[in-house]
Amino acid sequence: MTYRAPLRSLALALKTAGHPALVGQAFAELDEDTVTAVLEAAGAFCESELAPLNRGGDQVGAKYANGKVTAAPGFAAAYQAFVAQGWNSLSADPEFGGQGLTKAMELAVFEMTHAANMAFGLCPMLTQGAIEALALHGTERQKTLILPKLVSGEWTGTMNLTEPQAGTDLAAVTTRAEPDGEGGYRLYGQKIFITWGDHDAADNICHLVLARLPDAPPGVKGISLFLATKRLVDDQGQLGDPNDLRPGSIEHKLGIHGSPTCVMLFEGAKAELVGELNNGLAHMFVMMNAARLQVGVQGVAIAERAFQQALAFAQERKQGRTAWGGDGIFGHPDVRRMLTLMKAKIEAARAICITTGVLADLARLAPTEAERAVAKARQELFTPIAKAWSTDVGVEVASLGVQVHGGMGFIEETGAAQHYRDARIAPIYEGTNGVQAIDLAGRKLGMQDGAVMDALCAEMNQTVRDLKAAAGLEQVGERLDAGVAALERATDWMLAHKGPDALSGATAYLKLAGDVIGGWMLGRQALLVAEGDDAWSKSKAALARVYAGQILAQAPGLADGVMDGGADLESLSAEVLGS
């Protein structure tokens, strides 16, 4: 199954998010023709260079032997082509060799990258996070010698957090950093689940590592962030001897076989401090938040790839007499329902992620401090939703893709199963979706005493009024009205409750927020193209109506579930559940 870049849908998502106005205000040298040209070129590269490697990457995968990792067949050459064409440096600061384009454009390009080949896309994705972390917290030496190499893609970046005893609980990190007496440090310890921790696609790998000094305070307050490179870098930026770090093995995983997930061993590796001592977790959150948004985009991407394959199969597969004509099972109402719901959720998730990217741009570049603060607050609110809701959509759509294929979907040869296997990791890494829900309910919702969510709901209510006044979209307005009311009711309850009750409802609350915001996005898209008389433009109203009937209609009941509290969950002990 080939991949086709959804350029028109990406353009609509950018328009819905306000990207054209952003370009006009903050990027005077960037016009819409250039935006279109960039996306078209990226789409062509992903279709022709990355997508054909996806199946082989799954079947053969990365290999570990003699203490080294070899990338999946064709991946190293494709990576060199990727960086040579400039796709790695889109939004980086020109001071360090970047192109200075918008974060939203970077996300659009990376959606196509991940959809074409998710296992490949993980390598440059993590490098983007390393770039952001060093640009904000790196030393002058790191910004001069390391950062430009990451921006160009000559070197790649990784994020080393997890240890066997310390998954989400980073307070349990035991990797230690010992001063070397020369102003640097030596790292000792083991990290696991390190994506692209070793490979042969680039000359050097820059590991950002959480560790603690021997005299550091216990818990997260004693964690520092360090940079350790695979090969040492001298004061002129030249590569030297191998560092004392290595991959111990690569994991055998459910999916993303082309992405080497390494156990990394630090055996006295030379390292440099990044930022301030004992403030490493805060510094690493720059990289983690960048990765979380990128992972949300991965959810959109794998859903798009699964949808395209399912749609093509449904038009070719002949089974029984169809209600709506045609030879393929696409004529069966339930198959059409699944495909339409897949498409609607993809468009909603894409809009949420791209909007979060535009907000990140505005948080840096809006004309006034007040506007930047408003954008930053909404970006922070959206980030856990973009990550968790979109990756759940990825799994759901990939699962529906298997269902559309029927028994053929359960057979590896069709390729539908690969998308489902690949999608399943995204709700887990970069902070599980449960952690994202806790972040939303426990931190982001309470910003400014709930005013950030209040402002969002007020904006959605304005769209409700616009939809109710638009021919053919009245029902969408009614359902969105009820959805926003449900979200407001659940928000009030969450703000009034703390502890286990709020935590018990956090995941349901995030789903509710994502469902409602997604419906809002689809309604806005339908309004934007309401004047179009072509079939594609008209389809946006139909997609919004299907989403309103299938998803927004459930919002009031979901809000009730949010407010159930945790008493029943607490009462069900492991012994009772296991009996």
* Active site residues per annotation: 430
Report d(CA 352, CA 292) in Å as an integer: 13
Residue bearing tokens 């078209």: 40
Q: Which of 73, 71, 78, 80 is nearest to 48 (CA)?
A: 78
Query: Which of 456, 454, 477 lies closest to 524, judged by CA?
Result: 477
User: Structure tokens of 176?
Assistant: 């230690």
Euclidean distance between CA atoms 416 and 421, whole angstroms = 9
Q: For residues 110 and 125, what is the distance between their CA atoms, to the nearest angstrom?
A: 8
Question: In whole angstroms, what is the distance from residue 22 CA to residue 366 CA?
Answer: 8
Could you give phi then psi for residue 216, rounded to 5 degrees? -70, 150
Structure tokens at 390: 């979109």
Distances in Å between the alpha carbon of 444 and those of 382, 436, 495, 561?
A: 9, 10, 11, 20
Under a CB-based contact definition with an 8 Å cutoff, are residues 200 and 70 in contact? yes
CA angle in degrees (0–180, nearest 5) for 187-193-198: 70
In angstroms, the Cα distances linking 309 to 166, 313, 384, 404 are 38, 6, 28, 10
Bridge partners for 226 per DSSP = 209, 273
What letter would DSSP give residue 54? Answer: H
